[in-house]
Structure 1
């Protein structure tokens, strides 16, 4: 059922408040005494055993055979987009006739889009929250969704499987990314914390995802900002999308809550502990079917050989 634009607007604002404000607790930063190394003492769950981000070791992952993602309304341009400087990131909210939803891809249920935001570095040698074999990208985009069956974001953040976040790496390109250009232009109007601006061109969510959605990494984790709720099913795509150095500079021109440069707004990788990271097989349901067929053929062939030798 389509959600009215006003409802989506309220959901986006609620998402921003819950995911970026620290839930009304003590103030936090990315540096100094209120930085990531002290979040665990400021917010109990930030010291948990299922924290994010992590370093993804590609040689130590388990292959899983999942159906391809089903993306609903991801190709439908929103009726309105806004970008806000919340003091920690640039957060994009949108209104749409029908809420974008994601399911399959190993997710247990359908999840409704709430907002997306970015993490970036002071230069292009760092910036992403997740690392892959220790490698950092200059920027990482997070598309936040809440589980539809829980009815609201507020209810979902209290459930172990309440949120699904799609993580997209950005890599430096010699040319601008057209989908990012309207966002970058709007950044000029939100340099200070608390400011927001409309985005001139409304690109659909699909424009911010890599072309190849088949290969991705999956693990159970948390929000990467306080209060670090351990409620997130993480998807980190293997392929990146482009961004130019010129576009990156506009993100780096934003100011944080203290009036300083908003750069290096990422949390360092957290211990994996007993969790397992999985990687998708790159042909989705077909791979699963072929695996089953292969096992069946192997069994039949083995039986035939055995009978011939009797």
Structure 2
């Protein structure tokens, strides 16, 4: 304190010293504010992470869709926009957990879903695949499938459990090749290693994600691509699609980060709890 007092006495006799003291105090004040702001942001982020974890814990996925669902007739059908437009680029990636499909296009041409009772417009983010021998993630009436395609969408105007929406398509093993799926399957051999990616010949997303106006199950759950887990609204198409054994084998040769083959990448079924499953028609 004596040193600070002497410094202030000198500052009264020298404008230069006074300016240096003022600058030093200003810098110290700014640093304290920034430190406090950083601590505050970290606290807010920690609270948000706790809330997100709590929300995810309350609505785990996948589930078995039992026969006892609530049926509801839609006043408006689902509306699919820009799914038939050709994107500028289509990229397929192996992230060590699954194959991820992403597209690049002008913002005004981004495929998006609206209508029904969604209360907003959900824009396409990515599509992933979950597979295993009779081990799709979701099941209907205890019937398991061999492949599930999950297309994540996001509504920028919404937050919380309604910010994300995921469309699910289920596949059963058949002798016949799935032609739309060849756009993916034929290029999996180029992304065997985790972290690898390839640009595909452009195709419209609607040829892969089959539009439907109704006839789907809906419930609140979680989306997991192996890198991030998000709360989401699930829309599960009740129309089952076929895929043959040769196409399935192409998924099973992809590698994890430890070098092992991804024979299966599905999550275990979870209890529905107090949630309800609706069937929109």
Taking structure 1 as the reference length, the TM-score comes to: 0.68
Deviation track 1:277-296 (CA, whole Å, cap 9, x = no partner) reads 00012xxxxxxxxxxxxxxx
State the Cα distance separating 1:119 from its structure 2 match. Answer: 0.2
Matching of residue 74 in structure 1 with residue 75 in structure 2? no
1:149 to 145, 157, 163: 157
Q: Choose 232-241 or 43-52, whichever is displaced more.
A: 43-52
Query: CA separation in 2, counterparts of 1:118 and 1:162?
Result: 21
In structure 1, the gaps of 5 or more residues are: 1-42, 151-155, 282-310
Specify the alignment match of 2:116 in structure 1.
105
Query: CA separation in 2, counterparts of 1:111 and 1:204?
Result: 17
Query: CA separation in 2, counterparts of 1:243 and 1:254?
Result: 18
State the Cα distance separating 1:101 from its structure 2 match. Answer: 0.5
Deviation track 1:72-128 (CA, whole Å, cap 9, x = no partner) reads 00111222111000000000011123100001233121111011010001x3x22x1
In structure 2, the gaps of 5 or more residues are: 1-51
Q: Summarize the Cα distance change of 1:90–1:179 in structure 2 as closer, same or farther, 3 Å threshold.
A: same
Query: CA separation in 2, counterparts of 1:132 and 1:271?
Result: 14
Q: Summarize the Cα distance change of 1:53–1:258 in structure 2 as closer, same or farther, 3 Å threshold.
A: same
**Matched ranges for 1:1-310 at <5 A:** 44-45=53-54, 48-58=57-67, 60-66=68-74, 67-97=76-106, 98-121=109-132, 123=133, 125-126=134-135, 128-150=136-158, 159-200=160-201, 202-210=202-210, 212-224=212-224, 228-229=229-230, 231-281=231-281
Number of residue pairs matched by the alignment: 226
Q: Tell me which structure has the larger Cα radius of gyration.
A: 2
Could you tell me whether the CA contact under 8 Å between 2:80 and 2:211 is conserved in 1? no
Q: Which has the higher strand share?
A: 2
Query: CA separation in 2, counterparts of 1:226 and 1:276?
Result: 27
